Structure 1
Amino acid sequence: MAGTKKPIDRRAQIVEAAGKSFAMFGYKATTMELVSKIASVGKGTIYTFFATKEELFREIIGQLAQELRGIAEQTIDRDRPFFDNLSAALHELLLFREKHELIVKLVQEVRDFGTPMAKDGIDKLEQAIVALLEKEVALAIDKGELRSADPRLTAFIMLKLYIALSLEWSSKQQMPLSREETAEYFTALLRDGMARR
């Protein structure tokens, strides 16, 4: 039929509206009523899909974690050495984190108000990144590129070190490192301690 309209996916519409609301107003200030206005649906429609604001928020964080996985998978090239892949993937993931309005708002909300659900969301995203890195570390250990170590702990340390070099050093020392310098320091610091000899 030529004039048939595609049905509106109300659930997706609600999730998109909630994402916008959380990005503009933060977790604390977002209400189901506000989401219903942005989505142009009744509050009851939201509750048919999501019982609570927390459930809706977790859905959005889950989708963001999926996006992070997609970014990492696109960045990693199995023909490149482990540390080149690691630096490239971390750079892209942190760039995404710095530019994504919702993540920026949640970080700000945690810093300014300590909102527990916002902190939980940020923690979940960090856990998703650590899980991605853990998989890559385990593969590198299996391929003999890294010595044997706890992949999860190693992934956590790698993430924290990269954040320290790329974000914290730059903001606190007023001497920002370029992407290349960050990758160089990061690789040099880890290769001697982690590379198989």
Structure 2
Amino acid sequence: MDRRQEILEAAAKSFSLFGYKATTMDQVAKIANVGKGTIYTFFANKEELFNAIVVKMIDEMRVEADKAALEGDSFEEKAHARLMHMLKFRETHLLYAKLIDEEKELRTPAVAEVLQEIEEAIVSYIEEKIKKAIANGEVKQCDTKLVAYLLFKSYLALVIDWNKTHDEELEEERIVTLISETIFKSLFS
């Protein structure tokens, strides 16, 4: 493994453990077992290092979401699998979870900005899949950006937010049925 990769892994570990605000370049250097100057040969500052890690995390999320979609499934089945996988990634990925917590607790501007970038990347990813489905004749013409946003926010609300205000957790099958009978129904009619 090269030095840059070692630094990225050490920084990801530090950001996951301590959050953005509490992570220092000294901590990253110590975890990576390099001098602080070595970090600065690859990254100008903490923000640049943080952004490199976030870009890598978004790529991981896209790869994992693509793996969740099975060949031969319909657009609707693939969309559901990908969206559920991305939301599970959001809950289980240590760095992502830490960023969400830090943004809620400390309102760190850099973290809020990165979470917005991640959301935009997810919506863009969904939009790409919708455009491909339109080109393949699986979905009728629509405003792909708005539909992608609607799908993401609907899944987010039903999978994550619902539990915060209701005693019962929604079963995945119930979410699938609801989204299928509302949003997807309008895309296929």
- The Cα RMSD (Å) is 1.2
Q: Aligned partners of 2:56 and 2:180: how far apart in 1?
A: 30
Aligned pairs for 1:1-197 (under 5 A) are 8-195=1-188, 197=189
Structure 1 position 145, deviation (Å): 2.7
Between structure 1 and structure 2, the one with the greater Rg is: 1
Q: Aligned partners of 2:163 and 2:74: how far apart in 1?
A: 27
- Unaligned residue ranges in structure 1 (runs of 5+): 1-7
- Corresponding residue of 1:4: none
Match for 2:142: what amino acid? A
Q: State TM-score, norm by structure 2.
A: 0.95
On the 8 A contact 1:165/1:186 being kept in 2, the answer is: no
Match for 1:152: what amino acid? K
Structure 1 position 79, deviation (Å): 1.6
Tell me the secondary structure at the aligned position of residue 86 of structure 1. Answer: helix
Match for 1:41: what amino acid? V
Paired-residue identity, %: 40
Tell me the secondary structure at the aligned position of residue 12 of structure 1. Answer: helix
Q: Aligned partners of 1:80 and 1:25: how far apart in 2?
A: 41
Q: State TM-score, norm by structure 1.
A: 0.91
Structure 1 position 78, deviation (Å): 4.2
- Corresponding residue of 1:5: none
Match for 1:86: what amino acid? A
Q: Aligned partners of 2:133 and 2:2: how far apart in 1?
A: 42
